[in-house]
Amino acid sequence: MKILFTLMMLLLSLTLARSFGGQEPSTTKTTYYVALLSRGPKWTPVNTSEGEQIQKAHIANIRKLTEAGQLVLAGPFSDVGKLQGIFIFKVNSLKEAELLVQEDPAVRAERFTAEVHPWIGPMRIGTEQTAVESSQPHVLRRPDEIKWSPGLASLPPGAQVALLSGDPTKPGSPFSIRAKFPDGYKIPPHWHPIDENIIVIQGTLMSALGDKFDQAAGHELVAGSYGLMPKGVRHFSWAKGETIVQMYGIGPFEMNYVNPADDPRKK
């Protein structure tokens, strides 16, 4: 009963997220196959040598199924109990889903047992990175290890930038970059096709909304401040003292100037 309740609540949350998020009409449905993974007769802790080998093969299989488009969501449950994790398959039949589960190394080794159920849900669930670990490498970098280069072509001359992680030009790619502005540096009114998150690392960033540059409208963001500019929002900024900001989001990051004459790429 507890397992059934857990499954019902999980699938209900996925459905509600789609319905209320406005991403898809609630009437657009399709059939998925949900596999509940429980501790099997030969379950062992992952931190044993045997457990680690099985877990590596298990993760590799998840990645393979995801890349093949057969698996749309996978992951462990955070509470400690018999129920260990979940797969959600987008395949043609219950039999096909059951065969894929039985081929999983952890199921073959009897580390897990599985029961599979058909489920009618929204057309698309999950994201490009669901079911697999992030493909991005870990990044640990001290301030003196950050490599600065001339600013992006889309920024007015005088800025320096440092790519910390990801690829801001790639659609769907998480990224994080730093920008260093000299005192008095100005960025004319512009907007982005994505949400822009900003953290002020050093100095003071003045920022305001609008189609015209007006310093009287500025908001002072000192070191430690955070800002969010939703996609499409017109805004402009300038620096008081040498200022360093960190920007992050999901690519593609682009600068679209309200006045085309302000675009340095056209000068």
Domain boundaries of the chain, sorted by first residue = 2-122, 143-266
Least-confidence region, from 69-73, 217-221, 238-242? 69-73
Asked if omega into 252 is within 30° of 0 (cis), the reply is: yes
Q: Which pLDDT band, with edges at 50, 70 and 90, does 250 fall under?
A: confident
Q: Return the CATH superfamily for domain 143-266.
A: Jelly Rolls (2.60.120.10)
Beta strands in the chain, from DSSP E residues, in sequence order: 29-39, 71-76, 83-89, 112-122, 149-150, 160-166, 174-181, 186-191, 196-209, 219-222, 226-229, 235-250, 256-257
Please give the mean pLDDT across all residues of the chain: 84
Q: How far apart are CA 265 and CA 151, in angstroms?
A: 12
d(CA 105, CA 175): 34
pLDDT in tens, 28-65: 678 999 999 999 998 876 567 787 888 889 998 998 89
Do the two domains 2-122 and 143-266 of this chain adopt the same fold?
A: no
Query: What is the spatial distance between Cα 211 and Cα 67, in angstroms, rounded to a whole number?
Result: 43
Is 2-122 a domain of CATH 3.30.70.1060?
Answer: yes
Residue 152: is its pLDDT beyond 60?
yes
Element holding 59 (H helix, E strand):
helix 49-67
The DSSP element (H or E) to which 105 belongs, if any, is helix 105-108
